[in-house]
Structure 1
Amino acid sequence: MSETPLRIGYIPLVDAAALLVAVDHGFAAAEGLAIELVREVSWSNVRDKLNIGLFDAAHMLAPLPIASSFGIGHVRVPLIAPFNLALNGNAVTVTPALHAELAAFADGDPADPLVSARALARVVAERRAKGASPLNFGMTFPFSNHNYQLRYWMAAGGVDPDEDVRMVVLPPPYMVESLTNGHVDGFCVGAPWNSVAVEAGVGCIQHFGSELTLRLPEKMLVVREDWADTRPDVLAALIRSLARAAEYIEAVEHRANVTASIAERLGVEPSLVSRTLNGLLKVAPDGTMRGSDHYILIGRENANRPDPAHAAWFYAQMVRWGQTPLSDEAAATAQRVFRADLYDAALGRPAPTNDGGPRDGIGAFVGPDFVPGDIAGYLKAWELKRSGRPRLSLVR
């Protein structure tokens, strides 16, 4: 039987694990798919090559297909996301010097995001009083969890991410180099790059992304809507292969095997991948460890099923930070991007009941519960928000 060729782009991150394992461990081939994985360095490359048809599918930032479907930040190309590749997986890493400053200014435990956010506001105020330049924070793309988690954290402490600090866009593989060279004072990125910074002695992990928002998709499998409409059987086969790969990754007995193959694809030490998958990370160069059962979810706790409520939350952040206006029509469009129906049809599974996760499905560390049907009411709770487009510096 001949195999169906597919070309899929990805960025070297642990949250691409299900895609990498589906190819390298035969799950895609078992579904009749011959996948060529194309390693990319930036999310704009991944988006553009998917949009113009050079890729059939892509490993992509969860908010990005929403932005593309709106036509903000680029030309409008309707995209859909029928599979979560990972929930969570980010971390906020800062220089050892800034980490020490946050601890010194903390009124309480700096491991508490609200305490550290308020400490950051004190650091910012002191730097301004001294005439020092603003702190620089790197994130991977304007339409990303990294951007929204950094902003959510900063704003909770009273730091305006557009006025009080500089937010710069950096591709994930360049984060550590930028921290080493002093171009940024901190960043939010996915694994393994936070751990790489800690191992190099140039960074301390301040917060896991799951400590800021307990349950959000970080990366998703994304395809063009017209491609999905014309190749439903191929898409279903791809979803099945990813689901089986994700389940395989989560099985403890396979962990050593998958860790080695993922590390080879990413070009990093297997120990960094192992720590990520186990949710036990070295957070400082002195060897301090911290763990979380929710640091990254690849295939457990119903992690792979898209949730339109998550799409609504991302849309709310886009509105909050001035990337797009608020409208009921746009909110509905955003939620239609996350296609749980295609996931359910491919796997032949009924929609799950409540899995015991956070009450509103998000679990942000501060603020009101998120209600997808009342985004306007949710946004009224925030003092810090933008009415125009946020200012971002682009670093290639």
Structure 2
Amino acid sequence: MRNRHDITAGFVPLLDSALLVVAKEKGFAEAQEVALTLVRERSWATIRDRLAVGHFEVAHILAPMPIACNFGLMAPAPRMIVPMALGLGGNAVTVSGALWREMADDGAADALDARSSGAALKKVISQRAGDRLRFGIVHPYSGHNYELRYWLSGSGIDPDREIEIVTLPPQDMGDALRSGLIDGYCAGEPWNTFGVLKRGAHLATVKAAIWKSSPEKVLGVNSRWGDSHPDALVALLRALYNASLWCADPANHEELALLLSGPAYINSPAEWLRPSVTGVLKVGRTATQTVSDFFVPHAKAATFPWKSHALWFYTQMVRWGHVDHTAAHQNVAGNTYRPDIYRNALKALGVAMPAASSKVEGALRVETPVGSSGTMTLGPDGFFDGNLFDPDCVDAYIAAQKQA
């Protein structure tokens, strides 16, 4: 008989907590002898703090945040590892109705195209004569911050000089937009849909358009616990992988929306979650767009912790002055993500896994079958500006960003 594993996981009420919720509620954790307790928190700082003091063994966490913890950029902070991603995509850039009307006058359309929306925003900013727009993000060390900045800078907008970026909890974004405290925000679902449905907002673009097939939240593990409880971690990863299969099945999408909407989890109407679960997004008051890869819980190696993802986030930390570029820092970032643990946990399940631990981000322009331990299709994984990130050429990539 297998040993029972007691694991407490923290989460913030967002769409991409789905794998943890489903693992618990649909019995995948129990099938692996995992007694999984989920604890909802309002902020990412609290998630970090409770991981540090041992209240949580693992957590649903922002993809760059474990790297920042390992750099010592926050305190208190545990040493962390990332043995699994919790899906690809899942967030958007949302703007106020008033700002969208200005952008539409300058060529923005409802297609969620990152390039044309960025060009329109640049024109709006150039016409404001020093009146800076303000955008909200959920945390400085978040994919939201780095992807928003990448989109802005790739659109010719200096995110440090031409706009102001402020930090707010995701559930406060819509109300801050309506009150005029901010003009736009980058956040996870359902808070973009909430902004559109209830606060007169408009989607400008989505994460899947800025950087296709990119991670948003990951499983952050206190490495001290992970090192001392390897069997429990393996069991949890297997439960989450099976949950990802369930989440990916369209036949389960309605149940998933209802499950996540419950009072113990996101505690919001299911109508706020159906768009992101199905990919049929409410873009504005009357416009709808289908984005098939808006949130990907399983396909395209969505749960694999690519070292190239970790290293891209590291390059952005360097670019925006959060950390100096050194060989030691690069090594810390790359080793935070642990595909070796992922492979070890899932090999007995016979699942398809990438043969490599890194890839050139942006190299796959279309869906591409790749060599792996089974049948697997990756991509497209491109950046909206057409650039590539080669994890073997980090120095050159950082140098090129300084010149941009």
| TM-score greater than 0.5 by the shorter chain | yes
CA contact under 8 A between 2:49 and 2:77: conserved in structure 1? no
CA contact under 8 A between 1:15 and 1:85: conserved in structure 2? yes
1:180 Cα deviation after fit: 1.4
Root mean square deviation, CA, Å: 2.2
Secondary structure (helix, strand or coil) at the match of 2:141 reads coil
More deviation, 225-234/268-277: 268-277
Specify whether residues 180 and 100 from structure 1 end up closer, same or farther in structure 2 by C-alpha distance, changes over 3 A only. Answer: same
1:58 Cα deviation after fit: 0.4
Secondary structure (helix, strand or coil) at the match of 1:23 reads helix
Task: Supply the distance in 1 between the matched residues of 2:314 and 2:16 (Cα, whole angstroms).
Answer: 22
Percent identity among equivalent residues? 35
Letter in 1 for 2:24: V
Residues 65-104 of structure 1: CA deviation (Å, up to 9, x unaligned): 0000111133453200111111111100000111111121
Letter in 2 for 1:305: F
The correspondence for 1:183, drawn from 178, 181, 184, is 181
Aligned to 1:277: 277
CA contact under 8 A between 1:344 and 1:350: conserved in structure 2? no
1:159 Cα deviation after fit: 1.3
Specify whether residues 279 and 357 from structure 1 end up closer, same or farther in structure 2 by C-alpha distance, changes over 3 A only. Answer: farther
Letter in 2 for 1:191: E
Deviation >6 Å, runs of 4+: 107-110, 354-357
CA contact under 8 A between 2:362 and 2:387: conserved in structure 1? no
Q: Is 1:6 aligned to 2:10, yes or no? A: no
More deviation, 1-10/41-50: 1-10
Q: Is 1:312 aligned to 2:311, yes or no? A: yes
Specify whether residues 329 and 156 from structure 1 end up closer, same or farther in structure 2 by C-alpha distance, changes over 3 A only. Answer: same
Consecutive unaligned residues of structure 2, counting only runs of 5 or more, are: 365-378
Task: Supply the distance in 2 between the matched residues of 1:333 and 1:13 (Cα, whole angstroms).
Answer: 28
1:172 Cα deviation after fit: 0.9
More deviation, 67-76/239-248: 67-76
Spell out the pairing of 1:212-361 with structure 2 (5 A cutoff): 212-264=210-262, 265-286=265-286, 288-348=287-347, 349=351, 351-352=353-354, 358-359=362-363
1:153 Cα deviation after fit: 1.1
Residues 131-155 of structure 1: CA deviation (Å, up to 9, x unaligned): 53x1110000001111011111111
Letter in 1 for 2:297: I
CA contact under 8 A between 2:175 and 2:199: conserved in structure 1? no
Task: Supply the distance in 2 between the matched residues of 1:14 and 1:112 (Cα, whole angstroms).
Answer: 22
More deviation, 150-159/269-278: 269-278
TM-score by length of 1: 0.91
1:108 Cα deviation after fit: 8.6
Letter in 1 for 2:310: A
More deviation, 99-108/356-365: 356-365
Letter in 2 for 1:352: P
Residues 252-309 of structure 1: CA deviation (Å, up to 9, x unaligned): 22222222111112112223322212111000022x1111121111112221111001
Letter in 1 for 2:38: L
Task: Supply the distance in 2 between the matched residues of 1:118 and 1:78 (Cα, whole angstroms).
Answer: 40
CA contact under 8 A between 2:213 and 2:300: conserved in structure 1? no
Secondary structure (helix, strand or coil) at the match of 1:7 reads strand
Letter in 2 for 1:74: A
Aligned to 1:43: 44
Task: Supply the distance in 2 between the matched residues of 1:144 and 1:368 (Cα, whole angstroms).
Answer: 21
1:49 Cα deviation after fit: 0.7
Letter in 1 for 2:228: T
1:201 Cα deviation after fit: 4.0
1:381 Cα deviation after fit: 2.6
Q: Is 1:370 aligned to 2:397, yes or no? A: no
Specify whether residues 64 and 84 from structure 1 end up closer, same or farther in structure 2 by C-alpha distance, changes over 3 A only. Answer: same
Spell out the pairing of 1:190-201 with structure 2 (5 A cutoff): 190-201=188-199
Secondary structure (helix, strand or coil) at the match of 2:81 reads strand
Secondary structure (helix, strand or coil) at the match of 1:366 reads coil
Specify whether residues 50 and 60 from structure 1 end up closer, same or farther in structure 2 by C-alpha distance, changes over 3 A only. Answer: same
Specify whether residues 74 and 106 from structure 1 end up closer, same or farther in structure 2 by C-alpha distance, changes over 3 A only. Answer: farther
Residues 110-130 of structure 1: CA deviation (Å, up to 9, x unaligned): 8432232232222222212xx
Specify whether residues 123 and 228 from structure 1 end up closer, same or farther in structure 2 by C-alpha distance, changes over 3 A only. Answer: same
Task: Supply the distance in 2 between the matched residues of 1:252 and 1:161 (Cα, whole angstroms).
Answer: 38
Spell out the pairing of 1:27-176 with structure 2 (5 A cutoff): 27-75=28-76, 77-106=78-107, 111-128=112-129, 132=131, 134-176=132-174
Consecutive unaligned residues of structure 1, counting only runs of 5 or more, are: 386-396
1:225 Cα deviation after fit: 1.2
Greater length-normalized contact order (CA 8 Å, ≥ 6 residues apart): 1
CA contact under 8 A between 1:84 and 1:221: conserved in structure 2? yes
Task: Supply the distance in 2 between the matched residues of 1:374 and 1:319 (Cα, whole angstroms).
Answer: 15
1:357 Cα deviation after fit: 8.7
Secondary structure (helix, strand or coil) at the match of 1:365 reads coil
Secondary structure (helix, strand or coil) at the match of 1:22 reads helix
